[in-house]
């Protein structure tokens, strides 16, 4: 991660990253630590996060780890104490899992978020950014997705993220807190979890091709996604926390590349890079999945100066190299 996404000196600023032991959160925390932040505190209950990610961060003296759960209001107050900025990444992901466990998703993603917002207000946080999701577009058929046009939610997960955006708006209006949400489109990259029932598609493909264990493609594989390398998510979080542009505040932004590729194309790119002839197995489409996804990223470009750096193919190669080292 050589690119610099900020111009301000960070040595006087303290940052809280919730979910910082997880995939995206650990990359944000690492960026801030590498660029000399005064303090980077990670709050994580390690339900989705990993000790291996914390080990990467622990080499920096400015790093601090607080083990705790965002469902606990006191923990959130403790986490926000003495911080200047918050990047809220702690959440439960996975559409299919949310269909199985809707109440659990609501407790973590909605109540947990409200706890963080309240703690941010009480502790005078300067600016807060949070992870929303492209799933808020639901059944809206229009492409590319534009922030002001959302449809009906197709899963409890999507409903929790849409609710986050409603809470954020209310907190901005009622308490005057400065914040913004990021609708992530299929973020991928090194350190993404390839294990478990709800693993993300790219690490899962790479791991199973390497191990020659069955790879499943849901539906016909023609569904498309705006696959977005993790550095781009880091960039927008840094720019969002630090922006001085008042026009940029209290909005939701698409975070993507603005290009989409089919799952079949993704699979062939993985096999080609790994020089493998391993064939995938097709199965039933997944409940709650949208067919096509493509983002209009002009709002983030205009108001935050967001410029996606690493495109799909370069990001995919870097990701595959990471997993090759891990599994071979």
Please give the positions annotated as active site.
157
Q: Which two tokens stand for residue 155?
A: 């899963």
Q: Which of 197, 182, 190 is nearest to 135 (CA)?
A: 182
CA distances from 297 to 26, 165, 275, 327 (A): 24, 18, 34, 35
Instruction: With beta carbons less than 8 A apart as the criterion, state whether 139 and 80 touch.
Output: no
Q: Which of 170, 58, 160, 184 is nearest to 109 (CA)?
A: 160
Q: In whole angstroms, what is the distance from residue 169 CA to residue 175 CA?
A: 10
- Cis peptide leading into residue 15 (ω within 30°): no
- List helix spans (H) across the chain: 23-34, 51-57, 73-80, 95-100, 102-106, 112-122, 156-175, 201-211, 230-242, 263-273, 298-304, 312-327
Q: Which of 14, 181, 169, 152 is nearest to 91 (CA)?
A: 181
Q: In whole angstroms, what is the distance from residue 180 CA to residue 173 CA?
A: 13
B/e letters for 5-41, b = 16+ CB within 10 Å, e = fewer, are beeeebeebbbbbbbbbbbbbbbbbbbbbebebebbb
């Amino acid at each position: 991660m050589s690119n610099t996404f900020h111009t301000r000196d960070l040595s006087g600023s303290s940052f809280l990253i919730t979910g910082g032991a997880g995939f995206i959160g650990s990359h944000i925390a690492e960026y801030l630590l590498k660029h000399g932040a005064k303090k980077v505190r990670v709050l994580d209950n390690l339900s989705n996060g990993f000790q291996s990610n914390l080990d990467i961060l622990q080499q920096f003296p400015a790093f601090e780890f607080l083990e705790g759960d965002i469902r606990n209001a006191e923990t959130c107050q403790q986490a926000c104490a003495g911080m200047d900025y918050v990047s809220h990444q702690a959440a439960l992901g996975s559409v299919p899992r949310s269909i199985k466990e809707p109440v659990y998703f609501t407790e973590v993603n909605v109540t947990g978020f409200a706890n963080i917002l309240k703690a941010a207000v009480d502790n005078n946080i300067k600016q807060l950014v949070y992870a929303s999701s492209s799933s808020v577009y639901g059944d809206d058929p229009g492409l590319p997705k534009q922030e002001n046009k959302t449809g009906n939610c197709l899963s409890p997960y999507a409903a929790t993220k849409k609710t986050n955006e409603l809470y954020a708006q209310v907190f901005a209006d009622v308490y005057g807190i400065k914040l913004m949400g990021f609708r992530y489109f299929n973020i991928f990259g090194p350190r993404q979890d390839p294990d478990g029932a709800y693993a993300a598609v790219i690490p899962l493909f790479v791991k199973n091709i390497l191990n020659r264990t069955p790879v499943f493609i849901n539906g016909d594989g023609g569904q498309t996604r705006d696959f977005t390398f993790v550095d781009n998510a880091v960039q927008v979080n840094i720019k969002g926390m630090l922006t001085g542009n008042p026009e940029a505040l209290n909005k939701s932004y698409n975070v993507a590349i603005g290009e989409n590729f089919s799952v079949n194309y993704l699979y062939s790119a993985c096999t080609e890079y790994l020089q493998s002839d391993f064939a995938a197995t097709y199965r039933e489409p997944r409940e709650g999945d949208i067919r096509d996804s493509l983002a209009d990223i002009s709002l983030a470009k205009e108001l935050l100066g967001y410029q996606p750096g690493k495109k799909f193919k370069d990001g995919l190669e870097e990701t595959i190299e990471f997993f090759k080292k891990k599994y071979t």
